[in-house]
A and B are shown apart, each in its own frame.
Chain A
Amino acid sequence: EAGVVQSPRYKIIEKKQPVAFWCNPISGHNTLYWYLQNLGQGPELLIRYENEEAVDDSQLPKDRFSAERLKGVDSTLKIQPAELGDSAVYLCASSPGQGPYNEQFFGPGTRLTVL
């Protein structure tokens, strides 16, 4: 069974440029999460999807960040425009359902560097 796929693995951009990250969850997983992991920190949730619906986006900085999961499968996280402080690892995770007993499976993440 394929795991959570993320691309690109690395991205370097100039500040004020837009950037997008893509995530393909494990087949059949209805719940998808985007996490932000700053250097030396644990991941922090940005947004959670149940199928195509964003059910928790309270920690997503909506002035510059957006996300979509149009068909309830793969998802894209976008930053526009990027700032120096956005340099971090962006992790995607998926689980079979939203209940707390459901294990979250993580992808390898995208490391973003903003110059």
Chain B
Amino acid sequence: TQLLEQSPQFLSIQEGENLTVYCNSSSVFSSLQWYRQEPGEGPVLLVTVVTGGEVKKLKRLTFQFGDARKDSSLHITAAQPGDTGLYLCAGTTNAGKSTFGDGTTLTVKP
């Protein structure tokens, strides 16, 4: 059973469009991280959310943690080709176990 479900799995959009990636679970997480990974490179940490209902912004990226701390979303405004990559959410449960979602492969076409 996959602890963290990410959707969509693949997303291909035009430059300038907006998009949202979702990360859902039936488990409660004490914290959740979002990473972005380019081919052949390691994941790069974008943000950590820890409080239910928390919203964090990083330039054109908006991250939200669900009130019940079971889900999270990543919204990108006016996507650019440089946003292309694999987006991964990773959650840590109260028991200290961390797991990654399956990832969302985003392609932004010029």
Partners in one complex: no
Taking Cβ atoms with an 8 Å cutoff, the residues of B that contact A are none
Taking Cβ atoms with an 8 Å cutoff, the residues of A that contact B are none
